[in-house]
Amino acid sequence: MVALERVEWADPDLQRLVAAQKAEIDARYEETDEVPEVDPTTVKGAVVARVDELVVASGILTHPVPSFAENTAELGRMFVDPEYRRRGIAKELLRELEAIAVELKLEQLVLETGIKQPEAIGLYTSEGYRIIDNYPPYEDSPDSRCFAKAL
């Protein structure tokens, strides 16, 4: 059974998974553009998923998003420990982050993922996200794919 928990940005389990996500991205892409640092003041929601008390997945919601209207937030740092993938955990996590966005009265979510992450692209498209033009700072990145979803 998966238990979702809303946490603060500084939560050590969240930070451990954020580091693991960065390491996986670095491994998948030989040359990576520097991933923008998260400004902790913009984190409006952070969620971790536990399986048998072990924290195995995470994601965050940041707001505001430069170059978007005030009603838009960005999903980021989505990660599921490889041993726990393909169990629907990412979908539950995504839906919880969307619920936080709705609670904050936001109307749209945007996100960036990479072309070498077909499982992420599959998740987002299956949950109603549509491809949009790459937004800053990803506009010149051929490895990036950006998505949006109206809430």
pLDDT for 101: 97
pLDDT for 34: 65
C-alpha span between 77 and 113 (Å, rounded)? 10
pLDDT for 83: 95
Domain limits, the chain: 2-107
Q: Which helix (H) or strand (E) holds 18?
A: helix 12-28
Quick one: which of 109, 103, 105, 111 has its CA closest to 79? 111
C-alpha span between 101 and 98 (Å, rounded)? 5
C-alpha span between 61 and 105 (Å, rounded)? 13
Per-residue pLDDT of the chain (151 residues; tens, 9 = 90+): 899 999 999 999 999 999 999 888 888 887 666 667 889 999 999 999 999 999 999 999 999 999 899 999 999 999 999 999 999 999 999 999 999 999 999 999 999 999 999 999 999 999 999 999 999 999 998 999 999 999 9
Quick one: which of 136, 135, 13 has its CA closest to 77? 13
CATH topology for the 2-107 domain: Aminopeptidase (3.40.630)
- What SS3 state is found at 133? coil
Quick one: which of 111, 74, 77 has its CA closest to 7? 77
pLDDT for 27: 83
Cα 16 to chain centroid, rounded: 15
81: CB partners within 8 A, 6+ apart: 17, 20, 56, 57
